[in-house]
Amino acid sequence: MKFDTPATTNPIDRLRVIGQPLDRIDGPLKVTGTARYAYEQHDVAPGQAYGYVVGSAIAKGKIVSMDLAAARRAPGVLAVVTAENAGKLDKGKRNTAKLFGGPQIEHYHQAIALVVAETFEQARAAAQLVVVKYQEEKGAFDLAALKGAAPNAPSEEDSPTQSAVGDFAGAFASAPVKLDQSYTTPDQAHAMMEPHASIARWDGDKLTLWTSNQMIAWGVGDLAQTLGIAKENVRLVSPFIGGGFGGKLFLRADILLAALGARAAKRPVKVALQRPLMFNNTTHRPATIQRIRIGATPDGKITAIGHESWSGDLKDGQPELATQQTKLLYAGANRMTSLKLAVLDLPEGNAMRAPGEAPGLMALEIAMDEMAEKLKIDPVEFRIINDTQVDPEKPKVPFSQRQLAECLRQGAQRFGWDKRSATPGTLRDGKWLVGMGVASAFRGNLVMKSGARVTLGKDGIVTVFSDMTDIGPGSYTIMAQTAAEMMGLPIDKVKVELGDSSFPASAGSGGQWGANSATSGVYAACVKLREAVVQKLGFNSADAVFEDGAVKAGNRAVPLTQAAGDGEITAEDTIEFGDLDKTHSQATFGGHFVEVGVDAATGEVRLRRMLAVCAAGRILNPKSARSQVIGAMTMGAGAALMEHLVVDKRRGFFVNHDLAGYEVPVHADIPHQEVVFLDETDPMSSPMKAKGVGELGICGVGAAVANAIYNATGMRVRDYPITLDKLLDRLPALS
C-alpha cells in the first residue's frame, strides 16, 4: 500500500489544520487542575475506600507465615487481601512476574498484601501491622558475574536475537583498522510524575477501573485473563495519564489489587503505588554490557561490524534489544549481532522510552567516534561515509525514507561544528574545558492497527471516540486536527473523547507508534463519515470538497449542520497496515549535537547547548512534537550524567528507590535546546505520511554527551552514567 495521493483524494495533504503548531486542546484543563487523573476521580464511584500495598521484604524465597490479626483489628479496616484469599489468579500474557506474590516471592517489593480501610491513613497504619516471616533463598543480582554463562536470548518469530551476514570474524581479523571495546549502561527507572494508580468498582460481575494505563486494549485482555473473567465484563477508563515512558504499557499491581480489594470490601477501592514501592514493584530499563567491534579501511569504509549485548531479567523474561539499531544504521558487508540474557532475581526489566535503541546507541555512537579518531576522520563525515539507503542485512529492501546524512549535515552547519577542536582537551572558557559531541539518532517506525468512531451532530460538531491514550504527547490535539482537516472544520468544532475501553480499540501509546497509527484510524473513520454525508446530501463523492464547515461541489455548498438533520451521523473504521514492513524498511533518523563544559578542577559537567535535527515523516503538530523531542533530549542527558538504579547485590533490590535518591535532570541542568524537523513526508508509512518522533529524541543523546565530554577533556568514559568521580582523577593538570 502506498498513500501517495493528491490533496483532492487525501484531504490531509491540504495542511490547513494538520501540520500547524496549534496549542494543545487539553492544555487549559491541565494548567487549571481540571484534568482529572486516575487517583483524582473522586466522584465516579461513591463510597471509595483506600487500599495500601504491602511489598515483599525479600527478593527471592517464600512466605512461611503472615499474621494479619492485628491489621484486621485496626481502626477502619474493611479487608486484607493476600494471595491465599484472593481466589485463583492467572498471569496476563504480557506479565513476566506474578503481580501478586505468595507464597513464592519472585522479586523485592513484589506485592504480597493489600490492606483496605476507610481512609488512606488507616490503611497505611494497618499495613504496618502485617507481620510476615520469610524463608529467604540465595538470588542472582549481578549481571557482570553472570555474563560469561549467559545463554543466547530466546528469539521471537519476527525478532531474532542473533544475526549474521557475510563473514564477520574473517573480515574483522583482516581489517586494516580495528576497534574492540566494551560499554555498560545501568538499570534506569521511568520515574514518571504520576504514580501507578487505579480505582475499581464492581457492579455485579462487571468491573470498571479508572486507571493510569498506556494500552487500554492490552490492559483489558490481561486483567480479564488474570481474574478469569470475560473481557466483555472489564472496562478500563484512562482519560489522562501523567507520564508513562513505557512503565504503564502493561498491567501492574495497582490495577489488579484495586479490583481484588473492591471485591473483598464490597466497596469501590482506590490504590496508588507509593513512590518508594514503584521502583522495585514495577518495571525498569535493564542494565547492559555491550561489546562492539568495528573493522574499516583507511578511507573510512566499514567492512565488519559486530555488536553483542548482555542484559538480565526474571525467568521467562526478555532481553534489552540493544543491538537493534546496529542491524540497520550503517553499511558494512560483514555483520554480526547477538543478545545474551542472564536470569536475574531483580524486578522485571521491560520497555522504557526507546527500548533497545536508547541504551544501544549509548554504546554504538561512542564506538563510532572512537573509530573515527583511529581513522583520523571527522566523526560527522565518518557516519556519512557509511550511510546506506537499503537495509544492510537485507540489501533488496530499501528504506521508505532515509535522511540521516542530511540530518547530520544540517546539524553540523547549524551547530557550528567547524569550530570544534579535533584535538581533545584544548579548548577552554575560563575554568571550563569545552567540547562538542555528535551522535546519530535512529528509531524504527512501527505502526499498529487502530480504530476510531466519529460522529457529526446537528450542531456541526464532530466528536472523535477512541480508546487511545494521552500520556503527554498531545494525542487529543493531533486527533482533533486530523478530524478537522478531513471534515473541513476549524479545530474548535471538534471534540475528542479518549481512554475508554468502551470506545473502538486504537494503537495505544507506546513504541513511538501512537501518533501516526491513531490519527490514521481517525482518518479511516472520517473517510466513512465523509461518504455518509455526501450520500445523504446527494453529492458525487468524486467532486465533493469539505471546507469552511460545508460540503461543496461546483456551485453548490451545503453546511455540515444540515447534514445530520435532527439527529447525528456516525461512522467507525479501523486501519490495518498489512505487509508494509516486509516491502520497505521504515525508520526515523536524526542527528544530536551537544556542547559541554567540564570544570577543570572539580570535573563537574555542564551542558551548554543541545541540538536535534530530526527526519520523522510529516510532523503533525510542530509545537507538540518539539515538546516531545526536548523532553526526550532531557531524558537522554539524565541517562548520560546521573540516572542509575543502584543494585544491592547482596539483597537484590534497588537502593535508591525514590525521587530523593534517584537523580533525574531538573531545569537548572538543561541548557537551550534547539529542535529542527526536516521537511519530509513518507507515503509508505500511512495516509498521514507521518512517523513517530517521541522516542527518536532520546536516541543517541547519551553518546553525544559522552563524546562531547571526551572532546572537552580527552577522557573516554565507557561506563554510564558519567559522574564526576569517573573524571576527577584524570583531569588535565591546571595551568
CA angle 78–80–81, rounded 5-degree value: 130
- Closest by CA to 294, choosing from 383, 405, 232, is 383
Q: What is the mean pLDDT of residues 641-652?
A: 98
Task: Give the pLDDT of residue 2.
Answer: 52
Instruction: Report the share of the chain in percent with pLDDT over 70.
Output: 99
Query: Residue 177's pLDDT is what?
Result: 98
Cβ atoms of 635 and 715 within 8 Å: the answer is no
pLDDT above 90: residue 384? yes
Average pLDDT for 505-516? 97
User: Stretch 136-163: mean pLDDT, rounded?
Assistant: 94
pLDDT over threshold 60, residue 362 = yes
Residues 311-351 pLDDT 10s: 999 999 999 999 999 999 999 999 999 999 999 999 999 99
Q: How far apart are CA 116 and CA 264, in angstroms?
A: 9
Express as a percent the part of the chain with pLDDT over 90.
95
What is the pTM assigned to this prediction?
A: 0.97
d(CA 16, CA 641): 42
482-492 pLDDT, tens digit each: 999 999 999 99
Nearest-angstrom CA–CA distance, 134 and 104:
10
The burial class, CB within 10 Å (0-12 / 13-18 / 19+), for 157 is exposed
| Domains of the chain from N-terminus onward | 11-20+448-576 (3.30.365.10), 387-446+583-730 (3.30.365.10)
pLDDT class of 7 with cuts at 50, 70, 90:
low
pLDDT of 222 reads: 98
pLDDT at 565: 87
pLDDT in tens, 409-444: 999 999 999 999 999 999 999 999 999 999 999 999
Q: What does the angle CA 557 – CA 563 – CA 565 come to, to the nearest 5 degrees?
A: 135
CA–CA separation, 583 vs 1, rounded Å?
10
Side chain identity at residue 318, one-letter code? Q
Classified as helix, coil or strand, 240 is: coil
How far apart CA 434 and CA 426 sit, in angstroms, is 8
Q: Which of 308, 365, 370, 695 is catalytic?
A: 695
DSSP notation for 57-70: SSSSEEEEEEE-HH
Euclidean distance between CA atoms 101 and 245, whole angstroms: 25
CB count in 10 Å sphere of residue 376: 11
- What's the whole-number mean pLDDT along residues 612-618? 98
**Rounded Cα gap, residues 449 and 344, in angstroms:** 34
On the question of pLDDT at 3 being above 90, the answer is no
Instruction: State residue 8's pLDDT score.
Output: 54
Residue 359 has pLDDT above 60, yes or no: yes
Report whether pLDDT(258) > 80: yes
Active site residue 695: yes
Query: Over 80: is that where the pLDDT of 5 sits?
Result: no
Tell me how far apart the alpha carbons of residues 492 and 474 are, in angstroms, rounded to a whole number: 16
Count of CB atoms situated within 10 Å of the CB of 73: 10
The 10s digit of each residue's pLDDT in 687-723 is: 999 999 999 999 999 999 999 999 999 999 999 999 9
| Distance in angstroms (rounded) separating the CA atoms of residues 645 and 653 | 9
pLDDT of residue 314: 98
Could you tell me if 358 and 301 are in contact, meaning their C-beta atoms sit under 8 angstroms apart?
Answer: no
